[in-house]
Amino acid sequence: MNYADFYRRSIDAPEQFWDDEAALIDWNTPYTQVLDYSHPPFAKWFVGGQTNLCHNAVDRWCATQGDKPALIAISTETNTERTYSFNELRAEVERCAAMMLALGVGRGDRVLIYMPMIAEAAFAMLACARIGAVHSVVFGGFAANSLASRIDDAKPVLVVSADAGSRNGKAIPYKPLLDEAIALASAKPAHVLLVDRGLAAMSRVDGRDVDYATLRAGHLDARVPVTWLESNEPSYILYTSGTTGKPKGVQRDVGGYAVALASSMKYNFCAKAGETFFATSDIGWVVGHSYIVYGPLIAGMATIMYEGLPICPDPGIWWSIVAKHQVTRMFSAPTAIRVLRKQPPEFMRRHDLSSLRALYLAGEPLDETTSQWIADELGVPIIDNYWQTETGWPILSIAKGVEDVPTRLGSPGVAMYGYQVKLLNESTGAECGPNEKGVVVIEGPLPPGCMQTVYGDDQRFVDTYWSTFDGRTVYSTFDWGVRDADGYYFILGRTDDVINVAGHRLGTREIEESISSHPNVSEVAVVGVADKIRTQQAVAFAIVKDASRIATEEGRSALEREIMGVVDRQLGPVARPSRVYFVPTLPKTRSGKLLRRSIQAICEGRSAGDLTAIEDPASLQQIQRALEN
């Protein structure tokens, strides 16, 4: 099929297009309207239709391939590997669903999942989907304050967690962080369900904390029928960083998401039921939701959940998994590939990778060197794809399942079906011509699978993401981009104060707020600085209250470590700045706005830009001096 025609149809006749796509999933009750866009920018897909994500991911396949692998949970941290067939997965999900019901979880209730990459995390997500509870998975690398703000926003009735995660063989206790978060939060969950892997001792709160294995033992034969949900009921909330310190709860629906995943599995990932998909992300991120848990299963594929580092026990570990489980489609992030490129190539070459058909990379810009290197090593297409937590599936890529159009180095590809992507001039709102830099926007309605709203705050959804130009309502991605004459886009970085560290999105405001809580910090600026491996690294510039503490090299180092410790404890090591520099002043505009971009430019050895608006030009020299010392 010709991709240009396929795409055009999705834009010119979206209702017909998505009506056809909706046949990829099972509906218990057919929808009465494909799209209701009577209240823009809120789009309702498949109105009146009843379906269920868990049914489509699990039960549906039990009928035809119940004994085939569904979930393969591999941990090189605990040296365990367990394969669950679709039938076994359904049994575990039904047990978990019964446990949740026993703990009082009902349809529409929120369940917060704070877990390492273990099978029970997938059981819990699917169990929520089964009974119509709304899960909110919080990345295990986040710490107490991050967790507390998400608990207060989602107000979960239940938290599912574990004794500990593990990294490089070292247990990372989760329970103390969770207890601290619940103590900080005002919305206290009624219950905490805890998987105990025996990695770290746990204290338990009587009446609140429940042991997973013990409760499971009482529900071994549980049968929990699927709760059919109206397509627009919420399926989950996933928090993501923005320009303010308060994370946004990206809320997704049920039917639109299932259809979008089924389509993207077919057209982007060329899925075949019975084959194996391996996404190396974490369930705490959107890739984990879409392409570890739901997407592959909805397509009838086995999915691999991997707990561990890409280089332990050796840098060949991922490739040994590909060989052993005959992985056909793999999904990772450029940072991981850059890390692997630094390792001796023998580790990769010793495995038989003939099953692999393509490698998909997303989350951050894919540089040409990395792309070329991995393409040469693997001998399969490397397919970049650009999207966001908000959209749930690729905005830009190459849909090889529709037509084998060539990829272009440095470009994530062309607009994906359903997305009316435009580039707008930042100041005038006019559409950009070829090779002209603009803001990447999507004209409404957003296609199925994209966020419905910001959880609990429709106004924030409208105010944050939407603007109107020439009577057209557009969604901003907050990314700069250019498009060449053939429609290939190139992403040039964020327009806002969000940074990208190893494919993880972090808000500089959140990190600044955390650092400011140190008693000796009066002001701080955090910027993202280009990094060869991890795309960006967070770097902080702080003004201290008591300068005597930074009079010596030892004093400076000690304070820097303390500040990093504060970020570790509050937000988690994922948000820790790589350096904290101390400066007497920070560059600001006359109206007092921090000039983060000028600081970033200096850090990257570029010109600080137009300095007419700056209050105190000497502050930039102080940044330079701090970097040199």
Residues that bind ligand AMP (CB under 6 A): 240, 286, 362-365, 384-389, 412, 477, 479, 491, 494, 500, 505
Which is closer to ligand AMP, CB of 43 or CB of 362?
362
In the complex, minimum distance from the CB of residue 399 to ligand AMP, in angstroms, rounded to a whole number: 15
Nearer to ligand AMP, 388 or 619 (CB): 388
Residue with smaller CB distance to ligand AMP, 368 or 554: 368
Question: Alpha helix (H) ranges present in 350-455?
Answer: 368-378
The HSE-up count of residue 337 (CA atoms within 13 Å, CB side) is 29
In the bound complex, what is the minimum distance in angstroms from residue 334's beta carbon to ligand AMP?
A: 8
- CB 629, min distance to ligand AMP, A: 32
- Rounded CA gap, 627 and 623, in Å? 6
Q: C-beta of 286: minimal distance to ligand AMP in Å? A: 5
394 vs 577 by CB, closer to ligand AMP: 394
Q: In the complex with ligand AMP, which residue's Cβ is closer, 316 or 412?
A: 412
Q: Which is nearer to ligand AMP, 7 or 387 (CB)?
A: 387
Q: Is 417 helix (H, G, I), strand (E, B) or coil?
A: coil
- Minimum separation from the CB atom of position 482 to ligand AMP (A): 12
Nearer to ligand AMP, 329 or 505 (CB): 505
Q: How far apart are the C-alpha atoms of 212 and 194, rounded to whole Å?
A: 5
Please choose, from the candidates 116, 393, 125, the residue with its C-alpha nearest in 3D space to the C-alpha of residue 235: 125
Q: Which residues contact 183 (CB under 8 A, 6 or more apart)?
A: none
Q: Quick one: tokens of 135?
A: 């899960």
Shorter beta-carbon distance to ligand AMP: residue 149 or 500: 500
Nearest-approach distance from CB 480 to ligand AMP, in angstroms? 9
Distance CA 205, CA 207 (A): 6
**Structural contact between residues 355 and 320, judged by C-beta atoms closer than 8 angstroms:** no
Closest approach, Cβ 242 to ligand AMP, in A, equals 10
Residue 136 or 240: which CB sits closer to ligand AMP?
A: 240
CB of 439 to ligand AMP, least distance (A): 11
Q: Strand 110-114 and strand 134-137: pairing?
A: parallel
What element of type H or E holds 624? helix 618-628
Q: How far is the CB of 412 from ligand AMP (least distance, A)?
A: 4
Nearest-CA neighbor of 167 among 310, 47, 21? Answer: 310
Minimum distance between the CB of residue 493 and ligand AMP, rounded to whole angstroms?
7
Nearest approach in angstroms of CB 305 to ligand AMP is 19
Closer to ligand AMP by Cβ: residue 66 or 245: 245
The CA angle 243-249-254, to the nearest 5 degrees, is 140
SS3 120: helix
Where are any strands of DSSP class E within 308-446? 327-332, 358-362, 382-385, 396-397, 414-415, 420-424, 438-443
Contacts 24+ apart (CB under 8 A), 613-621: 613/589, 614/587, 614/588, 614/589, 614/590, 615/587, 615/588, 615/589, 615/590, 616/585, 616/587, 616/588, 617/587, 618/585, 619/583, 619/585, 619/586, 619/587, 619/588, 620/587
Q: Report which of 601, 594, 591 is spatially closest to residue 542, judged by C-alpha positions.
A: 594
Residue 84 or 393 having the CB closest to ligand AMP: 393
Cα angle for residues 286, 127, 36 (degrees, 5° grid):
60
- Rounded distance between C-alpha atoms, residue 155 and residue 292, angstroms: 26
Sign of the alpha-carbon dihedral angle for 428, 434, 436, 437: positive
Tokens of 404: 């084998």
Please, which residue, 316 or 438, has the CB nearer to ligand AMP? 438
Q: For residue 141, count other CB atoms closer than 10 A to its CB.
A: 18
What are the DSSP calls for 565-584, one per residue?
HHHHHHT-GGG--SEEEE-S
**Smallest distance from the beta carbon of 212 to ligand AMP, in angstroms?**
29
227/385 with CB nearer ligand AMP = 385
The nearest distance, CB 434 to ligand AMP, in angstroms, is: 19
